[in-house]
């Protein structure tokens, strides 16, 4: 298992960073999710899509300096924020996430150097369905045509078929709340049902290096945010939120609203 070792990311396709969020921040993150749950603002009982685009509290999680430092150690100093979503498995939930590749779901994103950060809102263990990844599958399994329809109990609509050998090589990512895993957008990963009386929630945040990846704003559902460094040649329409005072500016031509 890679533990905060981005030098092995290119080979393994994933990396773990422990204690990115401290105890007080973990409590704050949970309270924010609880607020959405109790007020009925989830999109589905087990899912919340793109909260960063409309709520600066979620955007603050996405732009946390220690989190961005971890992303920078893998992607480099120029970073854009493109998507985020919360996956929630309530106690004794039968919901599963099939083997899949994130890049399948992002038609507006082009290029390479695209990653997902999985922020542990709750502790994630083998019992409450911590995520599993197949090391190296980001380079050896890029045939997106293999995606098939998932089953009714799956939280996603598509899955990829993996061999028995690939499944045997899967690694379980057990994490305490506040830790973060980062994986390549082509890495094959998934998770099972939650068999415990504890919730398991993870906030997935998607970042790109704008030097090698770009977003077609005509196809994208909301703003793309420049969160660190330079937006690159195709980034004139991205929303720049890198100013030191925390205020945001929008380049001419930006699409959508915050």
Q: How confident is the model at residue 253 (pLDDT cuts 50, 70, 90)?
A: very low
Q: Where are the alpha helices (DSSP H) in 3-48?
A: 9-12, 23-38
pLDDT one-digit tens code per residue, 93-129: 989 888 989 988 899 999 989 999 999 999 999 999 9
Between 4 and 172, residue with greater pLDDT: 172
pLDDT score, position 104 = 80
Q: Is residue 229 part of a domain?
A: no
pLDDT score, position 238 = 98
SS (H, E, C) 69-116: HHHHHHHCCCEEEEEEEEEEECCCCCCEEEEECHHHHCCCEEECCEEE
pTM of the full structure: 0.89
Q: Is residue 231 part of a domain?
A: no
Per DSSP, the three-state class of 254 is coil
Output the domain CATH number for residue 207: 2.60.120.620
Q: Is residue 115 part of a domain?
A: yes
pLDDT one-digit tens code per residue, 135-185: 999 986 655 445 554 445 456 666 788 889 999 999 999 999 999 999 999
Q: Is residue 239 part of a domain?
A: no
pLDDT score, position 244 = 44
pLDDT score, position 6 = 80
Q: Is residue 103 part of a domain?
A: yes
Q: Is residue 226 part of a domain?
A: no
For the chain, how many structural domains are there in total?
1
pLDDT one-digit tens code per residue, 17-68: 999 999 999 999 999 999 999 999 999 999 999 999 999 999 999 999 999 9
Alpha-carbon span 205 to 59, nearest angstrom = 10
Q: Is residue 183 part of a domain?
A: yes
Q: Is residue 60 part of a domain?
A: yes
Specify the range with the lowest mean pLDDT, choosing from 1-15, 171-185, 217-231. Answer: 1-15
Q: How confident is the model at residue 252 (pLDDT cuts 50, 70, 90)?
A: very low
Q: Give the domain range for residue 192.
A: 6-76+86-221
pLDDT score, position 143 = 52
Alpha-carbon span 144 to 147, nearest angstrom = 6
> Measured in whole angstroms, how far is the alpha carbon of residue 9 from the centre of its chain?
16
Alpha-carbon distances of 73 from 17, 248, 251, rounded to whole Å: 11, 24, 26
């Amino acid at each position: 298992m890679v533990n905060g070792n981005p030098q092995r990311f290119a080979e393994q396709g994933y990396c773990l960073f422990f204690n990115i969020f401290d105890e007080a921040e973990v409590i704050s993150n949970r309270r924010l999710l609880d607020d959405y749950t109790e007020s009925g603002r989830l999109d589905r009982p087990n899912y919340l899509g793109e909260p960063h685009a409309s709520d600066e509290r979620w955007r603050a999680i996405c732009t946390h300096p220690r989190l961005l430092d971890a992303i920078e150690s893998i992607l480099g100093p120029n970073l854009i924020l493109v998507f985020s979503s919360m996956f929630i498995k309530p106690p004794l939930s039968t919901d599963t996430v099939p083997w899949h590749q994130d890049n399948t779901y992002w038609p507006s994103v082009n290029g390479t150097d695209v990653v997902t950060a999985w922020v542990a809102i709750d502790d994630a263990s083998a019992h409450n369905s911590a995520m599993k990844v197949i090391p190296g599958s980001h380079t050896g399994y890029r045939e997106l045509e293999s995606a098939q329809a998932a089953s009714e109990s799956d939280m996603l609509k598509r899955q990829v078929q993996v061999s028995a050998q690939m499944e045997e090589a899967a690694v379980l990512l057990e994490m305490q709340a506040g830790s973060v895993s980062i994986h390549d957008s082509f890495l094959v990963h998934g998770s099972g049902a939650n068999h415990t009386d504890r919730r398991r929630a993870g906030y997935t945040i998607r970042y790109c290096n704008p030097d090698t990846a770009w977003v077609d704003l005509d196809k994208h559902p909301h703003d793309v945010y420049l969160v660190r460094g330079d937006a690159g040649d195709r980034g004139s329409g991205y929303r720049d939120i890198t100013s030191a005072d925390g205020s945001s500016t929008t380049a001419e031509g930006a699409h959508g609203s915050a």
